[in-house]
């Protein structure tokens, strides 16, 4: 038996389509003699080309579909904010830890301040933990930011944390970041023979926003002085 799978299947289908187009042209010429010669050829050939392109595309898949990846779907059901707010920090995968700082604070109250909440790039939580004593642990969590299916996380600089005397200061990166992103759209014929649904404006980028959270862990006996201009929450 002859195996027509693989590369030969599209070629065989193409020949069948060409033969079908020729038969259709003969049928039109016989039953519609009033039609001009160009009109007899144009419609069957155009239909055959469209069908052939769709079939070949199904075999070769030359374009990468820009849909939400499995990672994006997984992140859509993950909420770092909820995990941290309710103290389920151990359930957070370590892959979302972007940066960590360890400080030591011994005397007096610990003041915590950040840039104004509407300008700071991350939510801030404080957790009092038994046994930490004079240690101050700061962890920056971040889930990926996707633009048109591309992970842009590496282009985002993490915030900064510094401890000077009794002030723990959180701030945005010093330098601004400018990223130019060029994307290519699939041509219209590509969408004719696939199950892709045209939802929304196809000229706009698809953006999946990640989460940015800073968790500050201190000893349970540590007295804190939180800046009222910084929106800082306690872990429940």
- Residue 105, token pair as written in the block: 């604070």
- 19 pLDDT band (50/70/90 cuts)? confident
What is d(CA 132, CA 208) in angstroms, rounded to the nearest whole number? 36
CB 193 within 8 A of CB 61: no
The pLDDT confidence band at residue 49, using thresholds 50, 70 and 90, is confident
Q: What spatial distance separates the first Cα and last Cα of the chain, rounded to whole Å?
A: 70
The pLDDT value recorded for residue 155 is 83
Q: What is the pLDDT of residues 54-86, one digit of tens each?
A: 666 665 544 444 444 455 555 555 688 999 999
Average pLDDT over residues 179-185: 69
Q: Residue 182 is encoded by which pair of tokens?
A: 């060029």
**Which of these, 137, 129, 126, 143, lies nearest to 230 by C-alpha position?**
126
Q: Estimate to the nearest angstrom the gap between the alpha carbon of 169 and the chain centroid.
A: 30
């Amino acid at each position: 038996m002859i195996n027509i799978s693989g590369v030969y299947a599209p070629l065989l289908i193409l020949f069948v389509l060409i033969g079908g187009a020729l038969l259709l042209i003969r049928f039109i010429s016989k039953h519609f003699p009033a039609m001009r010669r160009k009109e007899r050829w144009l419609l069957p050939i155009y239909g055959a080309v469209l069908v052939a392109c769709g079939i070949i595309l199904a075999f070769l898949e030359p374009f990468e579909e820009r849909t939400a990846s499995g990672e994006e779907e997984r992140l859509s059901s993950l909420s770092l904010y909820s995990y941290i707010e309710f103290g389920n920090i151990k359930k957070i995968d370590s892959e979302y830890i972007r940066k960590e700082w360890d400080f030591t604070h011994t005397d007096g109250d610990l003041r915590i301040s950040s840039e104004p909440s509407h300008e700071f790039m991350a939510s801030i939580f404080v957790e009092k933990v038994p046994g930490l004593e004079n240690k101050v642990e700061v962890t920056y969590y971040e889930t990926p930011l996707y633009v048109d299916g591309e992970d842009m996380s590496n282009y985002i600089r993490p915030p900064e944390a510094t401890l000077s005397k009794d002030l723990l200061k959180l701030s945005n990166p010093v330098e601004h970041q400018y990223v130019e992103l060029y994307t290519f759209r699939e041509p219209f014929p590509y969408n004719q023979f696939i199950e892709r649904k045209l939802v929304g404006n196809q000229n706009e980028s698809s953006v999946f926003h990640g989460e940015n959270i800073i968790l500050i862990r201190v000893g349970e006996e540590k007295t804190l002085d939180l800046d009222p201009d910084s929106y800082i929450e306690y872990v429940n």
